[in-house]
A and B are shown apart, each in its own frame.
Chain A
Amino acid sequence: MAKLDSRIPSGPLADKWRKHKTDIKLVNPANKRKYEVIVVGAGLAGSSAAATLAELGYRVKCFVFHDSPRRAHSIAAQGGINAAKNYQNDGDSVHRLFYDTIKGGDYRAREANVHRLAEVSVNIIDQCAAQGVPFAREYGGLLANRSFGGAQVSRTFYARGQTGQQLLLGAYSALSRMVGAGGVELHTHSEMLDLVLVDGHAKGVIIRNLLTGEITRHAADAVILATGGYGNVFNLSTYARQSNATASWRAYKRGACFANPCYTQIHPTCIPVSGDYQSKLTLMSESLRNDGRIWVPKKKEDRLKAPGDIPEADRDYFLERIYPSFGNLCPRDVASRAAKRMCDEGRGVGESGLGVYLDFSDAINRLGENGVRERYGNLFDIYHEITAESAYKQPMRIFPAVHYTMGGLWVDYNLMSNIPGLFVLGEANFSDHGANRLGASALMQGLADGYFVIPYTIGDYLAGQKPGSRPKTDRAEFRQAEENVTGMTKRLLGIKGKEPVSHFHKRLGKLMWEYCGMARTKAGLETALQKIPELREEFWASVNVPGSAETLNQSLEQAARVADFIELGELMCRDALTREESCGGHFREEHQYEDGECKRDDQNFAHAAAWEYQGEGKTPLRNVEPLNYEFTKMSVRSYK
């Protein structure tokens, strides 16, 4: 059984991080160059970590499967980044950001980690501004802010609707500087396919070059995974098409615990699926709910009628009806589930029946078409581009979609997993968002981990490793891991079945969406736990992966990722079945209040569940890390 020691420093909450920084071990500057650190992934967390560690003097190797670090999916984040700067003088503080994040996470995150996140949030903005990130400004030249969901202050910094892009390009510029200076050895088109453990410590990785197929071994003194989330288990999501969980999953199979895999966030306002060919769902910023009214027809038979032909009396503004005090601005998870219920009742709109209207006609009457265009013009343009419909003339059709995963590899306060020497940053870890993430907090966490946490905490581990003691890659552990990778590749290419990889990914996605999506039940999850292993068997018997291993082979890449998604999907269902409560993004229909709100069970489930791999075909072990709320009072999360 894995030992889960969260290593939370003692003392008052606000002093923990400062105290920890003075208590942990340091590596002296002349010794840093003797340590080599592998960073896998180059999104916000990976790029910022690789750049900063190289600045400190460590030798860094950075691996990305993209053709350039600038492609990582952090680039697509729209809204902004939170920071407790209190530039607006509206009462914000580190404590308030901490509290909002803990409450937003439905009391399932670690207090000490979240407080540290709030503390370093202010340094992130300083760092990014100094890098030349073109944040929105006021006329006086100072930084502008906007407000975002789950907060009563204006603390979100932004760069138009492309904040993720600008922050990633900032981190990419810092990384590029260190690549140019020789501090980082950058490997693009390089996918991590296994983790190598030597004497129980993470000491290397196995990499496949996606252009040549060459498999290489890389040894290091420590390994950092910053490889993002696993939302593509659902096939359709707002993730990039190639976002995957393979690095995390292979680490799990080497003994790293996977925590809270069932915590997934479903965003209510996305453009609905239009057909079976669909590869991607596009987000429409939730700011639209400030002025749009959500409705479906009252009568099933009206659902295919033109919305303009449905009289006011026959429309059901269901959010306003069910949640009169919050109306269209109720929390993401509540809005998503309500939309699903309407569609389940057969009242969903659009050809697929999986959509609800987001109607701006009242706003247009109030503000005029130009007024609406000023606020939301770019979003209406995106909507038009994808659907060929004008939201000025008819209501938008929207439907919820998967877009973030709060679960991930278990880490301690140092961001180290239960495997010594293996660190996990950003969306790939589990620690800061609990069961639900607030808007504009993902960018904050990625950069906090990479710029301001790992540069300190990795020293605490490395100081205990003798300089120059990193293993040689001709050891048996490396050979065995490489054989593991080449064996899987050979097996995939050898099946030569009937169906392309996408066939299985789509089926997995449908199963997950049906049984482990917005609302989960015991019976549904049990069905999924029966069907997913069947799908897995079918995949390994009848997938067709054409081509060879010695060249660019996108089918092969995707096949390995989908094989991992199938296994991870099963673990997600197992976790969701075991967690007999509702919290944040995890909603079990058996556990709800009369008004449909999540009913937590703090008595039995105020803990992180960290699953430990036990070998193929064996049920994984569920380890528990209790969450102790010393500084906040756990209460029913209510935004009413």
Chain B
Amino acid sequence: MVAEKSSKKLFNVTLRVWRQAGAQSPGKFVDYTATDVNPDMSFLELLDVVNDGLTRKGDEPIAFAHDCREGICGTCSCTINGKPHGPGHGIATCQLYMRTFKDGDVIIVEPFRARAFPLVKDLVVDRSAFDKIQQAGGFISVRTGAAPDANSIPVPKADADLAMDAATCIGCGACVAACKNSSAMLFVAAKVSHLGLMPQGQPERDRRVLAMVRTMDDAGFGNCTNQYECSAACPKLISHDFIARMNRDYLAASVKSAFQPVSLGGGGAG
């Protein structure tokens, strides 16, 4: 069965795309004209089409990060017209559709820019700093097989719901790209709050926030100066209230770690 010609009004746009062969090469904007754009196309599908055109001409296509294309994996990472993930509200780049734009628009496409996210190629950046922060403390230490029955740890519904709000973070890094200080506070606060709100997360609560914040600072992310661009750019609209919550946790943990007596303990069991 052949799809018949679309009745949608097609239009043309210019993509002004950041091209950079690698971290050490100079980068520049290059203009590409996209014709017969269907408003039902996603923005990334337009990049696919432009790339196929470049390939047919023997040019190298634009490198861009993408995978699930349904707003959940956190891979896509374009700054579009100056906004991480583009002009939409509460969506990732892959959920942006061309009907947002109009005929003749010039669309400026850049990678997420931040010191802690070094550029890889064109629109692709390296966000491995986020993994490092997780490895420093973004977990509850529970060996497989050692867990008690799930219903032996009741969690008040309100706490579970709030923890879930924080846990919806997709780790895309838009918060960092949107922040003038390139701060990762929203990302870290989301994980710290998710685990800190659950009873299971209490034993490591202090240790976790101290370790994650230290790793965040070491990775070269900036500080928070309360502009909340992070929440505005977040595809999951995670609230900046979690940053305040993390600051309280961090302060409490710092004070406690300074004054609390430390066991000389040493040695394991057996």
Q: In the complex, A555→B144 CA distance in Å?
A: 39
Interfacial residues of chain B within 79-103, with CB under 8 A of chain A in the complex = 91, 95, 97, 99
> Within 8 Å CB of A138, what residues of B?
157
Given A70-B74, A134-B194, does the pair A278, B160 have CB atoms closer than 8 Å?
Answer: no
Judge whether B139 and A139 touch: CB under 8 Å: no
Q: In the complex, A125→B149 CA distance in Å?
A: 8
Judge whether B52 and A274 touch: CB under 8 Å: no
Judge whether A274 and B157 touch: CB under 8 Å: no
> Within 8 Å CB of A592, what residues of B?
none
Stretch at the interface among A250-258, A369-377, A544-552: A544-552
Q: In the complex, A430→B97 CA distance in Å?
A: 37
Q: In the complex, A555→B62 CA distance in Å?
A: 10
Write the nearest CB–CB distance from B155 to chain A, whole angstroms: 5
Q: Does A273 contact B (CB under 8 A)?
A: yes
Q: In the complex, A388→B145 CA distance in Å?
A: 47
Q: Does A486 contact B (CB under 8 A)?
A: no
Judge whether B73 and A240 touch: CB under 8 Å: yes
Write the nearest CB–CB distance from B173 to chain A, whole angstroms: 10
Instruction: Choose from B59, B131, B143, B198 the contact partner of A176 (Cβ within 8 Å).
Output: B131
Interface bits A197-239 vs B (CB < 8 Å: 1, else 0):
0000000000000010000000000000000000000000000
Interface bits A142-164 vs B (CB < 8 Å: 1, else 0):
11000000000000000110100
Interface bits A98-139 vs B (CB < 8 Å: 1, else 0):
000000000000000000000000010111111110111111
Write the nearest CB–CB distance from B110 to chain A, whole angstroms: 17
Interface bits B166-196 vs A (CB < 8 Å: 1, else 0):
0110110000000000000000000000110
Stretch at the interface among A322-330, A349-357, A469-477: A349-357
Main secondary structure of the interface of B (DSSP, over half): loop
Interface bits A170-195 vs B (CB < 8 Å: 1, else 0):
00111011011000001010000000
Q: In the complex, A127→B145 CA distance in Å?
A: 7
Q: Does B44 contact A (CB under 8 A)?
A: yes
Write the nearest CB–CB distance from A380 to chain B, whole angstroms: 15
The chain A residue with its CB closest to the CB of B137 is: A180
Given A177-B139, A279-B48, does the pair A67, B153 have CB atoms closer than 8 Å?
Answer: no
Q: Does B225 contact A (CB under 8 A)?
A: no
> Within 8 Å CB of A188, what residues of B?
128, 131
Q: Does A269 contact B (CB under 8 A)?
A: no
Q: In the complex, A387→B58 CA distance in Å?
A: 34
Judge whether B144 and A500 touch: CB under 8 Å: no
Identify which of B38, B41, B91, B134 gathers the most chain A CB atoms within 10 Å of its CB.
B134
Interface bits B2-16 vs A (CB < 8 Å: 1, else 0):
011011000000000
> Within 8 Å CB of B168, what residues of A?
160, 162, 165
Interface size class of A (residues with CB under 8 A): 35 or more
Given A123-B145, A130-B140, A388-B99, does the pair A275, B60 have CB atoms closer than 8 Å?
Answer: no
Instruction: Choose from B22, B141, B198 the contact partner of A551 (Cβ within 8 Å).
Output: B22
Q: In the complex, A544→B61 CA distance in Å?
A: 11
The chain B residue with its CB closest to the CB of A165 is: B72
A sample of 7 inter-chain contacts (CB < 8 A) reads A126-B147, A179-B135, A240-B68, A241-B66, A279-B69, A348-B1, A555-B61
Judge whether B131 and A131 touch: CB under 8 Å: no
Given A143-B151, A172-B134, A173-B138, does the pair A130, B160 have CB atoms closer than 8 Å?
Answer: no
Instruction: Choose from B73, B120, B127, B142 the contact partner of A131 (Cβ within 8 Å).
Output: B142
Write the nearest CB–CB distance from A87 to chain B, whole angstroms: 6
Judge whether A134 and B198 touch: CB under 8 Å: yes
> Within 8 Å CB of B63, what residues of A?
552, 554
> Within 8 Å CB of B131, what residues of A?
68-70, 176, 179, 186, 188
Judge whether B154 and A498 touch: CB under 8 Å: no
Q: Does A140 contact B (CB under 8 A)?
A: yes
Cβ-closest 3 pairs across A and B: A141-B154, A130-B147, A180-B135
Stretch at the interface among A47-55, A305-313, A579-587: A47-55
Q: A71-B67, A165-B170 are in contact. List 18 more A-B contacts (CB 8 A).
A: A52-B144, A73-B67, A127-B142, A132-B195, A134-B160, A134-B164, A135-B150, A138-B157, A159-B167, A176-B135, A186-B131, A188-B131, A274-B6, A275-B6, A279-B44, A279-B45, A387-B40, A388-B39
> Within 8 Å CB of B120, what residues of A?
211, 552
Given A66-B75, A452-B144, does the pair A126, B150 have CB atoms closer than 8 Å?
Answer: yes
Judge whether B157 and A85 touch: CB under 8 Å: no
Judge whether B201 and A352 touch: CB under 8 Å: no
Given A67-B126, A76-B70, does the pair A180, B198 have CB atoms closer than 8 Å?
Answer: no
Given A130-B200, A138-B157, does the pair A51, B144 have CB atoms closer than 8 Å?
Answer: yes
Judge whether A68 and B3 touch: CB under 8 Å: no
> Within 8 Å CB of B7, what residues of A?
351
The chain B residue with its CB closest to the CB of A387 is: B40
The chain A residue with its CB closest to the CB of B142 is: A130
Given A68-B131, A73-B68, A172-B134, does the pair A500, B75 have CB atoms closer than 8 Å?
Answer: no
The chain B residue with its CB closest to the CB of A136 is: B160
Judge whether A502 and B52 touch: CB under 8 Å: yes
Q: Does B130 contact A (CB under 8 A)?
A: yes
> Within 8 Å CB of B58, what residues of A?
496, 544, 546
Write the nearest CB–CB distance from B125 to chain A, whole angstroms: 9
> Within 8 Å CB of A172, what residues of B?
134
Q: In the complex, A85→B149 CA distance in Å?
A: 10
Q: Does B124 contact A (CB under 8 A)?
A: yes
Identify which of B63, B99, B131 gathers the most chain A CB atoms within 10 Å of its CB.
B131
> Within 8 Å CB of B130, what residues of A?
68
Interfacial residues of chain A within 482-536, with CB under 8 A of chain B in the complex = 496, 498-500, 502-503
Interface bits A333-367 vs B (CB < 8 Å: 1, else 0):
00000000001100010011110000000000000
> Within 8 Å CB of B194, what residues of A?
132, 134
Write the nearest CB–CB distance from A296 to chain B, whole angstroms: 14
Interface bits B22-46 vs A (CB < 8 Å: 1, else 0):
1000000000000000111110111
Judge whether A275 and B59 touch: CB under 8 Å: no
Q: In the complex, A85→B151 CA distance in Å?
A: 10
Judge whether B73 and A385 touch: CB under 8 Å: no
Q: In the complex, A452→B163 CA distance in Å?
A: 27
Q: Does A277 contact B (CB under 8 A)?
A: yes
Write the nearest CB–CB distance from A497 to chain B, whole angstroms: 10
Q: Does A285 contact B (CB under 8 A)?
A: no
Judge whether A137 and B56 touch: CB under 8 Å: no
Judge whether B171 and A68 touch: CB under 8 Å: yes
> Within 8 Å CB of B157, what residues of A?
137-139, 141
